[in-house]
């Protein structure tokens, strides 16, 4: 049996440690601003669409879906401002999906 003697047991571990150093404080700040701004913009769009559909002949599910999607996007904006950008991204996706469901129900 022969084993490779030129391999280091720490091979690959250094690669994982380098990934953490890849992003600096400027990247984190930019991610927070992006999540907060996108969440606020989608919240306003959802609320505007909800108010527009509320006065029309659309079923009650449609403005409720827009309002619920806007609330989820508002929560995402709040979490994004607190630095929870990964959770904010998933909530933004979920909020837009709820609004799209409301649009399809129309």
**Among the listed residues 88, 87, 51, the one whose alpha carbon sits nearest the alpha carbon of residue 67:** 51
pLDDT of residue 26: 83
Question: What helix, strand, coil percent values describe the chain, rounded to 5?
Answer: 75, 0, 25
| Residue owning tokens 């999540």 | 35
- pLDDT for 9 equals 58
Nearest to 59 by CA among 96, 94, 97, 102: 102
Given pLDDT bands bounded at 50, 70 and 90, which one contains residue 41? very high
Per residue in 56-105, pLDDT (tens digit) is: 887 889 999 999 999 999 999 999 999 899 999 999 999 999 999 988 88
**Band of pLDDT at residue 4, cut at 50, 70 and 90:** low
pTM of the model: 0.74
């Amino acid at each position: 049996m022969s084993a490779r003697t030129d391999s280091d047991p720490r091979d690959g571990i250094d690669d994982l440690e380098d990934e953490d150093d890849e992003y600096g404080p400027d990247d984190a700040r930019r991610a927070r601003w992006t999540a907060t701004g996108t969440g606020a913009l989608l919240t306003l769009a959802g609320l505007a669409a909800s108010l527009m559909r509320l006065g029309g002949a659309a079923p009650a599910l449609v403005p409720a879906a827009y309002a619920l999607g806007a609330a989820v996007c508002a929560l995402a904006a709040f979490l994004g401002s607190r630095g929870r950008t990964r959770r904010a991204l998933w909530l933004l996706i979920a909020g837009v999906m709820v609004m799209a469901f409301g649009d399809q129900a129309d």
